[in-house]
Amino acid sequence: MKYLLMPFAWLLMFFYNLFNNYGLAIILFALVVKVVLFPFALKGKRSMVKMSALTGKQQRLQKQYANNKEKYNAELTALYEREQVNPMSGCLWSFVPLLVLIPLYAILRQPLLYMMDATTEQINTLLTTLNWSGAAAANGWTADFAKAPYGQLQLASLISPANLEAVKAVLPKAFAINFDFFGLSLAQQPQWEIWKLPLTWNNIGLFLMPIVSAAISLLFSIVMTKTNNINNPDAPRQGTFMTYVFSPLMALWIGYAMPAGLCVYWIANSLFSMIQEVIAAQMLKKDYAAAAEARRKQELLDKEEEKRKKELLRQERAKRAEEKKKGGKKKKEAKETEPGVDLTASRVGLRAYARGRAYDPDRFGGVTPYKDPDQTVDEDAIEKARETKAEKAEEAALEAEITAKVAAEVEAEYEAGTLEETSEETPEGSEGEAPKEE
C-alpha cells in the first residue's frame, strides 16, 4: 500500500520543499490533480451532453419495446454504441475528488511514514524523545499512541527546529513541518464544540473552516447548475439532492471529522472545480448547440410520429373490429345452421382441451360438467380473462409495429428534407379509438 501512495507523497513533498508551507503545498497538489484530470472530466461532461440529446430516442425505444425488456436493453446498448456514448462516464468523474481524497488522507494522517520514511521502531523511539505523554496531556490528545487516530500527525507537529537534531538521531530523514497556515495549525482537527475551547484565533479559525468548505461546495453546485442551464436551456432547472445537499454535507463532515489539511484540500478543490466548470462551458458550446439541435429535431419527429401513429392505429383498429364483427356473425350462423361438436365441453377446469379437440359430449348420452372439489371455478370468467389478455397482447404488438414503421418513415423523410413542421391537431374522435359495434 505504501508504494501505491508514494507518488502522491512525492508530489506533496515537492511543493512543500519548494515553498516550505504545508497549506500551500496541499493547494498546489489539488491544482495539479485538477489539471491532470481535466481532459477526462471534459470528456465525461461531453458524454453527458450527448446523453441529454438522446433522451427522445430512449423514450421512443421504451414505447416500442414496452413489453420486451430484453429487446429494449439490446436496442439501447446499440444506440449508445452508434452514438459513441458511455452512460456511466458522466457520473464517474464526479467521484474522482473522493478517490484522490483517500490517498491524500493516508499521507496527511501518517506524515512520519510517507514524508519521512519512518519505521515502527523509530516512531516508538520518538514517543520518548518528543515526550508524547506530556504533550498528549497538555493538548488533550489520546494518551495511548496506538489508539490515537492522528497520532503520527500530532507527533510530527512536535518536531521543531529546537529539537530537530535529537529527532534526526533517531529518524535521519526527519524535518520540522511548517503546519502554520494564516495562523492556523493544519495538524489539528477542527472542533465544532467551540464553546468548550479557549477563544483563540486558531480554535475559531479551525471551527469556521468546515463551514467555509460547505459554503464553497454549495456555491460550486449552484455555479455548475447555472452554467448547464445557460448552455443548455432545455435542461431541468431544479436542483437535485446530490447537487445541493449531499456535497455540502460531505464537505462539512470531512471538515470536522478529519485533520484541517483535508479541509484545505476540499476548499481548494471546490474553487478549482468552479473555474474548470466555466472553462468547460466555453469549450463545449458547440456540443451544447448540437445537442439543442438534436432535441429540436427529435421534438419535430415525435410530433409527426404521434399524429401519424394515431391515424394508423385508428384505421387498423377499425379494420380489425370490422373483421371481428364479420367473423363473429359467420361463427354464429355456422353454429346455428351446421351441426358440429361443442369444443367448449372438452374443457376440464382450467385446461382448455384436456379431453381432446374432437371430444363429443353427446356421444354417450351427455356429460357431467366438471366441478373443482375444493372451489367453484367460473370457467366463463377464466375464458373471458384469457381473451382479454390476448387482446391486450395483440394491441401492444400492433402499437409497437406501427410505432417502428412510422418512426422509420418519419426519419427517412426528415433525412431526405421532405418533412415539414406542421401545427395541425389531430381531429376530434380520431384518438385511435375503434368505432363501437352497433
CA 278/CA 224 separation, integer angstroms: 8
**Strand, coil or helix: what is 181?**
strand
CA 178/CA 161 separation, integer angstroms: 10
| Model pLDDT for residues 10-34, shown as the tens digit of each residue | 999 999 999 999 999 999 999 998 9
pLDDT bracket for residue 349 (50, 70, 90): low
DSSP H or E segment with residue 180: strand 180-181
10 Å CB burial of residue 276 (0-12, 13-18, 19+) is: buried
pLDDT of 239 higher than 90: no
Q: Are 409 and 312 in contact (CB under 8 A)?
A: no
Q: Which of 71-80, 155-164, 234-243, 301-310 shows the highest mean pLDDT? A: 155-164
pLDDT of 72 higher than 70: yes
Give me the residues paired with residue 180 across strands.
185
- Of 205-209, 221-225, 245-249, 340-344, the one with minimum mean pLDDT is 340-344
Tell me how far apart the terminal alpha carbons of the chain are, to the nearest angstrom.
Answer: 81
Mean pLDDT confidence for 87-106: 72
- Of 76-85, 87-96, 300-309, the one with minimum mean pLDDT is 87-96
Mean pLDDT confidence for 107-130: 92
pLDDT bracket for residue 356 (50, 70, 90): low
Beta strands 180-181 and 184-185: pairing type?
A: antiparallel
What's the mean pLDDT when you consider all of the chain? 79
Q: What's the chain's length in residues? A: 438
If one counts every other C-beta atom within 10 angstroms of the C-beta of residue 106, the result is 17
Distance of CA 370 to CAs 58, 247, 349, 373, 387, Å?
A: 50, 67, 6, 9, 21
**Strand, coil or helix: what is 351?**
strand
Q: Are 318 and 416 in contact (CB under 8 A)?
A: no
Percent of the chain with pLDDT over 70: 76
Q: What pLDDT is stored for residue 165 in this prediction? A: 93
If one counts every other C-beta atom within 10 angstroms of the C-beta of residue 27, the result is 19
Mean pLDDT confidence for 271-284: 89
The amino acid that residue 170 corresponds to is: V
| Model pLDDT for residues 141-195, shown as the tens digit of each residue | 888 998 988 999 999 999 999 999 999 999 999 999 999 999 999 999 899 988 8
Owner of C-alpha cell 384505421: 315
Q: In the numeric block, which cell numbers belong to residue 171?
A: 529518524
- Of 129-133, 184-188, 353-357, the one with minimum mean pLDDT is 353-357
Dihedral over Cα of 197, 201, 204, 205: its sign? negative
HSE (side-chain half, CA atoms, 13 Å) at 91? 5
What one-character DSSP code corresponds to residue 178? Answer: -
pLDDT of 431 higher than 50: no
pLDDT of 437 higher than 50: no
**Strand, coil or helix: what is 184?**
strand
Owner of C-alpha cell 471529522: 257
pLDDT bracket for residue 368 (50, 70, 90): low
Distance of CA 58 to CAs 31, 53, 171, 181, Å?
A: 38, 10, 62, 52
- Select the more confidently predicted residue: 284 or 101: 284
Q: What pLDDT is stored for residue 12 in this prediction? A: 92
* Closest listed residue to residue 406, CA positions, set 294, 295, 296, 312: 312
Q: What pLDDT is stored for residue 90 in this prediction? A: 58
Q: What does pTM read for this prediction? A: 0.69
Alpha helix stretches (DSSP H) within 192-284: 201-231, 241, 247-257, 260-283
CA 200/CA 10 separation, integer angstroms: 34
Q: What pLDDT is stored for residue 373 in this prediction? A: 63
